[in-house]
Structure 1
Amino acid sequence: MLALQLNDLEQDGIIEKNVHQLNPLKTDYQLTEFGKTLEPVIEAMANWGELYNQKEASNE
């Protein structure tokens, strides 16, 4: 499932895959310039998640 999602992100131009010909084979991924435009969205979602966790903790 993860491989499929990574493949989709690569096809959409959000990430790029780098395969290093080492033994054992090593693969890493990085955001493309286009993918970096999502950083504010991801940060906003992370901030919302923190607020949600604080709200839930105060309800316990």
Structure 2
Amino acid sequence: MHFDIHRHLAEQHAADLRTQAEAHRLATEAKPARELRTRLGWTLVELGLRLAAAPTPKPAPA
């Protein structure tokens, strides 16, 4: 294989790897936002269940 062709293929392969690495980095950065949203959602569900629960009876004033 001619040297220039080999160099061109190596550069193309390196560019493809950089593109894949960038896509992976962006996907990894987006993941914590979903985790935070999930935690927040379950916290709001728990709060709603506590608010909807029957209130404890207060003692009658003496």
TM-score range, shorter chain: 0.3 to 0.5
Q: Give the alignment's TM-score, normalised by structure 2.
A: 0.41
Structure with the bigger percentage of strand: 1
Q: Give the alignment's TM-score, normalised by structure 1.
A: 0.42
Query: For the pair shown, which has the larger CA radius of gyration, 1 or 2?
Result: 2
